[in-house]
């Protein structure tokens, strides 16, 4: 995104840990988020995204580490944090039997919007979310996309400088997702800091910076462009062949020693190799020898999904090496 992001730090985390008995949900993570930045937290379900966001929102006490949100300490000033943030969970937290307007009125009270500002803020929310003509509709009758917009509006009633969105587009259609991101861009242009968790790889492309989290650890953190062009040491080949033989081709490639990884990607296949210049001709010959017609085979820039999968596989290998080392130590 092209925008002037202030250097003011709005979210600051250092070595943050959250354990549930013997299970470590968040494992010593550190990062900063600046004013007006759209910061994405990308990872699979169970990676620690929601646990992190709940600690930052003052809803869950950390086990150790430190953090500040809007200048307030996550241990000792949780109530101050709640006053200065908007929080939208993936369940939207709306009252289904209330109308759109009644939900807004309810959250105006929850967020302690001054009486003389309530009508002004309500009208702003309705305009911002594009739901002016639905103000008298029962919330349960709204589509997923309209409920999403209403939930966002309710989270913004008190005009918070920081907005936390926990998988806000889960379960909504692609058009609603795109429209929702247009609203996020507008908030960012107004210098609202937006912290958003997602497991949609394409959404992470819209963020100024992205933290990739896996098993409670941040495995990479940078702009989407730098993650794709600088972080992955391997090359990616994009293969297009007849879909009727894709699964056979995938099996052959996954067993080949020169292919590090291979996976279906859209209508084609992504193949991870060490060096595209040397390995592309090898893969081409391999397929030709098996009489596989090739529609297209070329080197491409990795997608965020390619980068994430590569990092996760490396993390798995690292964990396996560590486990083997510990086993050897125990034997000796």
Q: What is the pLDDT of residues 71-99, one digit of tens each?
A: 999 999 999 999 999 999 877 789 999 99
Closest-CA residue to 271 (of 285, 286, 259, 287): 259
We report the CATH number of the domain holding residue 249 as: 3.30.70.920
Identify whether residues 160 and 25 lie together within a single domain: yes
Residue 311 lies in a domain: no
The label of the residue with tokens 């007849």 reads 242
Residue 63 phi/psi, 5-degree rounding, is -80, -40
pLDDT at res. 2: 44
Q: Are 253 and 325 in contact (CB under 8 A)?
A: no
Q: What is the pLDDT of residues 210-246, one digit of tens each?
A: 999 999 999 999 999 999 888 888 899 999 998 888 9
Domain of 113, in residue numbers = 9-228
Identify whether residues 153 and 284 lie together within a single domain: no
pLDDT over threshold 90, residue 62: yes
Q: What is the pLDDT of residues 151-183, one digit of tens each?
A: 999 999 999 999 999 988 877 888 888 888 999
Burial of 242 (0-12, 13-18, 19+ CB in 10 A): exposed
> Domain boundary residue among 201, 228, 255?
228
Identify whether residues 77 and 174 lie together within a single domain: yes
Cβ atoms within 10 Å of 118's Cβ, excluding its own: 15
List the single range of 179-183, 293-297, 315-319 with lowest mean pLDDT.
315-319
Average pLDDT over the chain, rounded to whole?
90
Residue 176 lies in a domain: yes
CA distance 245 to 252: 11
CA distance 211 to 192: 19
Work out how many domains the chain is built from and give that number: 2
């Amino acid at each position: 995104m092209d925008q002037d992001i202030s250097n003011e730090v709005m979210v600051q985390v250092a070595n943050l840990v959250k354990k549930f008995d013997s299970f470590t949900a968040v494992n010593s993570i550190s990062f900063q988020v600046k004013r007006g930045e759209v910061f994405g937290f990308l990872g699979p379900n169970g990676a620690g995204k929601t646990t992190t966001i709940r600690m930052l929102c003052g809803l869950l006490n950390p086990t150790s580490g430190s953090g500040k949100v809007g200048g307030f300490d996550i241990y000792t000033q949780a109530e101050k944090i709640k006053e200065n943030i908007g929080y939208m969970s993936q369940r939207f937290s709306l009252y289904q039997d209330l109308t759109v307007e009644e939900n807004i009125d309810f959250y105006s009270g929850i967020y302690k919007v001054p009486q003389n500002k309530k009508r002004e803020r309500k009208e702003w929310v309705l305009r911002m979310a594009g739901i002016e003509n639905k103000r008298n509709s029962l919330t349960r009758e709204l589509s997923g996309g309209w409920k999403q917009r209403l939930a966002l509006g309710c989270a913004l009633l008190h005009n918070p400088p920081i907005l936390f969105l926990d998988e806000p587009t889960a379960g909504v259609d692609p058009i609603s997702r795109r429209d929702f991101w247009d609203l996020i861009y507008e908030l960012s242009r107004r210098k609202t800091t937006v912290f958003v968790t997602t497991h949609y790889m394409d959404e992470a492309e819209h963020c100024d910076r992205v933290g990739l989290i896996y098993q409670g650890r941040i495995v990479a953190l940078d702009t989407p462009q730098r993650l794709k062009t600088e972080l992955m040491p391997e090359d990616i080949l994009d293969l297009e062949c007849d879909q009727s033989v894709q699964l056979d081709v995938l099996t052959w490639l996954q067993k080949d020693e020169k292919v590090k990884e291979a996976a279906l990607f859209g209508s084609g296949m992504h193949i991870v190799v060490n060096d595209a210049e040397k390995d592309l001709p090898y893969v081409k010959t391999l397929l030709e020898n098996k009489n596989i017609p090739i529609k297209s085979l070329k080197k491409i820039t990795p997608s965020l999904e390619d980068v994430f999968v590569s990092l996760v596989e490396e993390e798995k290998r690292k964990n396996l090496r560590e486990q083997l080392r510990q086993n050897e130590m125990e034997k000796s």
